[in-house]
Structure 1
């Protein structure tokens, strides 16, 4: 049953990210609204994680996210002038879903690094599909798909599957320092991934989808590589590969950017796995904290 839960959550991840970006592309081109969306979708995840861990619940969180997506889609059709409100609904729903999904997968698989990679990987491809192929038809298909997948999860997956552990160990100073270090690593990874992505996207056309597929494969395979070779060895090798790619790929151009893009994304399940180990019983918060750490490099692009 845990494999089914991971599979459904991963499919929903693809659909949710695709729906959010598709809806934004169809309703607004305003940078302010994109900023509002990203702030709510990412920076609120630590707080969302604290709340979700506290209520130790499951379907009320997923259901709330789906309701917000339904409201945003309805407003996009009926009252498209309320662009900022639509961005708020999408961002809040995105935050709820990602914390629910990350927590669900971490709990039901007992922090399996492979499962974490499987869950996080489809999101980047969903973003590319939602942006590159955006249309009203796609938006409705994605909303229906989310509804169907949620219903299947309700009906088939054990209702108590994601009830977390009561083992909230006292966090020591070393754990706090290590979490700060992991967050810094995630920020650096976000900066490098942004550089490699921009280099790949500059080729235009379907290369955007190819770049997304490369990033997705890195996240997916990163967990399996770490399980095979160990998370520390995998992180070290990936760091070396990414560093070489940065030195070779002048101005983030050329085929080597795809190597760098693959490498930096391999570390995502590794850092998630480390964070979950450092904060046992706080699966939602640890996932949300790393998600929020992705944003500082994004904000730098505004200056």
Structure 2
């Protein structure tokens, strides 16, 4: 029940943020300000959440702050600050709560992160839902007050920690994971899909992104990391590189790419298991520069394919180094 509540709140939080921005033309110039507050602050928010170890309260506070930013009549800069900071608080609090309670499983993480993309899409396409979503978010946030902290039914032993004599190795593994997140973001945003010209096709694409993230957690739990790397980087690489102008293969490619999201989040968490809030926030913060770069450039087919292949190689190396350091994913 708690996982479902967090997932619904994630959907509503992103729907409110997108809907509020796109419901008022005067707010469009503030998109960069919102993105900076929502994404770039998450590592800081995560450290604070880890220090206080009150992840559920951070998620509740974020949900309520976001909904109030949409519901109350306030100056635009204040609204942007409220939804940006609220978004940061919710994502770090909710993400860390799920990571801590998942008993070494990635599937709950996939279930939690997936609805956000659909909420973002619906808020963008249908800004009129903002007020309703904000009211619903307030209700779900209040419900979270009475729900127990999330814990998976399956109890596992303590997770092994990464062991290596050289701290630089740990740093390099984390750096590779973060680079992979940014590169994936660049590849996703630098490709234009000419076929996505109707609301129906946009919704189908959003559904494929969402289901890919959900599937990613289950695939990782069932088949481990290397098959996920193959499925999410090597297989969709040629599709996105050379078939992006066709709807069906592009939709398949979008599904496959997003299988990797739970993997990178989970790998980062396993490297710093005592700091789930910081791990989740750090991953989110590296999406932002990738998005900015991806939107500002237009990559050709061969370069896109090269990015996917190099990304797969880097992830493979990181997984093998983690295994030598006592962490098998």
TM-score normalized by the length of structure 2: 0.80
> In the aligned structure 2, how far is the partner of 1:233 from the partner of 1:67?
39
1:150 corresponds to: 141
From the superposition, tell whether residues 160 and 245 of structure 1 become closer, same or farther in structure 2 (CA, over 3 Å): closer
Candidates 257, 263, 269, aligned match of 2:262 = 269
**How far apart are 1:7 and its partner, in Å?**
1.3
Point out which structure has higher relative CO (alpha carbons under 8 A, 6+ apart): 1
Candidates 47, 51, 54, aligned match of 2:48 = 51
Checking the alignment, whether the CA contact within 8 Å between 1:182 and 1:275 is kept in structure 2 is yes
**How far apart are 1:57 and its partner, in Å?**
1.0
> In the aligned structure 2, how far is the partner of 1:227 from the partner of 1:293?
24
Q: Where do 1:123-202 residues align within 5 Å?
A: 123-135=116-128, 138-158=129-149, 172-195=167-190, 198-199=192-193, 202=196
2:84 corresponds to: 91
| Residue 107 (str. 1) matches residue 107 (str. 2) | no
| Residue 221 (str. 1) matches residue 215 (str. 2) | yes
Checking the alignment, whether the CA contact within 8 Å between 2:21 and 2:28 is kept in structure 1 is no
Checking the alignment, whether the CA contact within 8 Å between 1:20 and 1:130 is kept in structure 2 is yes
From the superposition, tell whether residues 195 and 207 of structure 1 become closer, same or farther in structure 2 (CA, over 3 Å): farther
From the superposition, tell whether residues 212 and 159 of structure 1 become closer, same or farther in structure 2 (CA, over 3 Å): closer
Runs (5+) with no aligned partner, structure 1: none
From the superposition, tell whether residues 240 and 63 of structure 1 become closer, same or farther in structure 2 (CA, over 3 Å): closer
2:70 corresponds to: 73
**How far apart are 1:97 and its partner, in Å?**
0.3
**How far apart are 1:170 and its partner, in Å?**
9.2
**How far apart are 1:159 and its partner, in Å?**
9.0
Checking the alignment, whether the CA contact within 8 Å between 1:249 and 1:257 is kept in structure 2 is yes
> In the aligned structure 2, how far is the partner of 1:151 from the partner of 1:115?
22
Candidates 199, 207, 211, aligned match of 1:205 = 199
Candidates 19, 22, 35, aligned match of 1:22 = 19
**How far apart are 1:228 and its partner, in Å?**
1.6
Q: Where do 1:282-293 residues align within 5 Å?
A: 282-293=275-286
> In the aligned structure 2, how far is the partner of 1:131 from the partner of 1:84?
19
> In the aligned structure 2, how far is the partner of 1:170 from the partner of 1:220?
30
From the superposition, tell whether residues 296 and 158 of structure 1 become closer, same or farther in structure 2 (CA, over 3 Å): closer
Give me the CA root mean square deviation: 2.5
Alignment size in residue pairs: 288
SS at match of 2:197: coil
| CA shift digits 1:69-93 (9 cap, x unpaired) | 2431234xx24xx222211211110
Checking the alignment, whether the CA contact within 8 Å between 1:200 and 1:257 is kept in structure 2 is no
Runs (5+) with no aligned partner, structure 2: 153-157, 298-329
SS at match of 2:274: coil
TM-score normalized by the length of structure 1: 0.87
| Residue 60 (str. 1) matches residue 57 (str. 2) | yes
